[in-house]
Amino acid sequence: MKLLDDEKIIALFEERNEMAITETKTKYGRYCNTIAYQILQNREDAEECENDTYLDAWNTIPPTRPRMLSIFLGTITRRISLDRLKRKTAEKRGGGEAMLSLHELEECIPSGKSIDDAIHEKTLAKLISDFLRTLSEAESNIFLRRYWYFDSIDDICKRYGYGQSKVKTTLKRTRDKLLQYLNQEEVYV
């Protein structure tokens, strides 16, 4: 089966053709589900978030026209999954890797704001994106696996063949660099 390219899928959304959902699920379903599962650690919740992603994309395209459909869908899935996680952890404390990862990043986020508020600010997102471009490929990959995809330390070690101390040290040094970078950009913690 040949997958449609992103431009054709986006055109289906713009035409309000329901095949847009089918084609999106075929091409990006596993990707979205993996993001949701990494955050929620629950198959049923991940499937619901994946489906909610398609609905959100349907309601957003048009007027929005994403430049990169995969990133657009990943961002929606991540937001929906984090919102669900926040609701679930409000009911019971805990939260697993996602909450642990967010807690680790709190030292780099401006004081007076929650991690959720800060992440949604476009200025901060752009600064973090610019910061990631200053890192080596290995540092950037480890950082993204931990703080975007919410991989566990063990999963990162397996993926890249590193020891736990290397991954933990890299994450700590990268968070320290991020803090310094944000301070240089006058985003004070």
Q: With respect to residue 171, please indicate whether it lies within any of the assigned structural domains.
A: yes
The more confident residue out of 183 and 175 is: 175
Domain boundary residue, one of 91, 115, 147 = 91
Look up residue 99 and give its amino acid. Answer: M
Domain boundary residue, one of 36, 57, 91 = 91
Domain range for 82? 6-91
Domain boundary residue, one of 69, 91, 113 = 91
Task: Specify the CATH number for the domain of residue 141.
Answer: 1.10.10.10
Assess whether 115 and 177 both reside in one domain: yes
Q: With respect to residue 85, please indicate whether it lies within any of the assigned structural domains.
A: yes
Tokens of 105: 């990043």
Q: pLDDT at position 119, please?
A: 47
Q: pLDDT at position 157, please?
A: 95
Q: pLDDT at position 120, please?
A: 45
pLDDT in tens, 117-145: 544 455 666 788 889 999 999 999 999 88
Q: With respect to residue 1, please indicate whether it lies within any of the assigned structural domains.
A: no
Q: With respect to residue 13, please indicate whether it lies within any of the assigned structural domains.
A: yes
Number of domains in the chain: 2
The reported pTM is: 0.64
Assess whether 104 and 86 both reside in one domain: no
Residues 6+ apart with CB under 8 A from 137: none
Tokens of 39: 């955050």
Q: With respect to residue 121, please indicate whether it lies within any of the assigned structural domains.
A: yes
Share of the chain above pLDDT 90, in %: 54
DSSP label at 5?
A: P
The more confident residue out of 107 and 159 is: 159
Q: In 3D, which of 118, 51, 49, 61 has the Cα closest to residue 88?
A: 49
